[in-house]
C-alpha cells in the first residue's frame, strides 16, 4: 500500500503535466486558427464586395453598350449618306478639274491662234 501511495502522486503529477502541456498547445493553436478564420472571413467579404462592384460595373457597361448600339443604328444611315455625298463631291470635283484643264487648253490654244 505504501508503494501505491507513492505511485499516486507521480501519476497525478504526470496527468497534470500532460493536461498543462495539452492546454499549452491547445490555446495558441485555437487562437491561431480563430485569427486565420477571421482573416479569411475578412478576405472573403472583401472579395465578395469587389465581385459585386465588378458585376455592377459590368451591368452598367452592358446597358451602355446597348444604348450605344441603338445610337449607332440611328446614326448609321446618316453616316452612309454623308459618305455617299462625299464620294459624289469628290467625283464632281474631279470632273470640274478636268473641265478646267480642257478650258485652259482651249484658252491657251485660242490665244496662240490670235497671236499668229
Segments making up each domain of the chain, as ranges? 10-76
Q: In Å, what is the CA distance from 36 to each residue of 30, 31, 32, 42, 61?
A: 10, 9, 6, 10, 37
As a whole number of angstroms, the distance between CA 17 and CA 24 comes to: 10
pLDDT tens digits, 42-98: 999 999 999 999 999 999 999 999 888 988 889 889 889 999 999 999 999 999 999
As a whole number of angstroms, the distance between CA 33 and CA 21 comes to: 18
pLDDT tens digits, 3-28: 667 888 889 999 999 999 999 999 99
As a whole number of angstroms, the distance between CA 41 and CA 36 comes to: 8
First to last CA, the chain: 159
Amino acid at each position: 500500500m505504501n508503494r501505491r501511495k507513492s505511485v499516486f502522486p507521480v501519476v497525478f503529477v504526470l496527468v497534470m503535466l500532460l493536461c498543462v502541456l495539452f492546454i499549452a498547445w491547445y490555446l495558441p493553436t485555437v487562437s491561431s486558427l480563430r485569427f486565420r478564420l477571421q482573416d479569411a472571413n475578412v478576405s472573403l467579404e472583401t472579395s465578395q464586395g469587389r465581385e459585386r462592384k465588378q458585376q455592377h460595373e459590368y451591368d452598367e457597361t452592358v446597358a451602355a453598350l446597348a444604348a450605344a448600339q441603338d445610337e449607332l443604328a440611328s446614326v448609321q444611315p446618316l453616316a452612309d449618306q454623308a459618305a455617299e455625298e462625299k464620294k459624289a463631291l469628290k467625283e464632281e470635283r474631279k470632273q470640274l478639274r478636268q473641265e478646267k484643264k480642257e478650258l485652259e487648253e482651249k484658252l491657251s490654244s485660242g490665244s496662240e491662234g490670235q497671236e499668229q
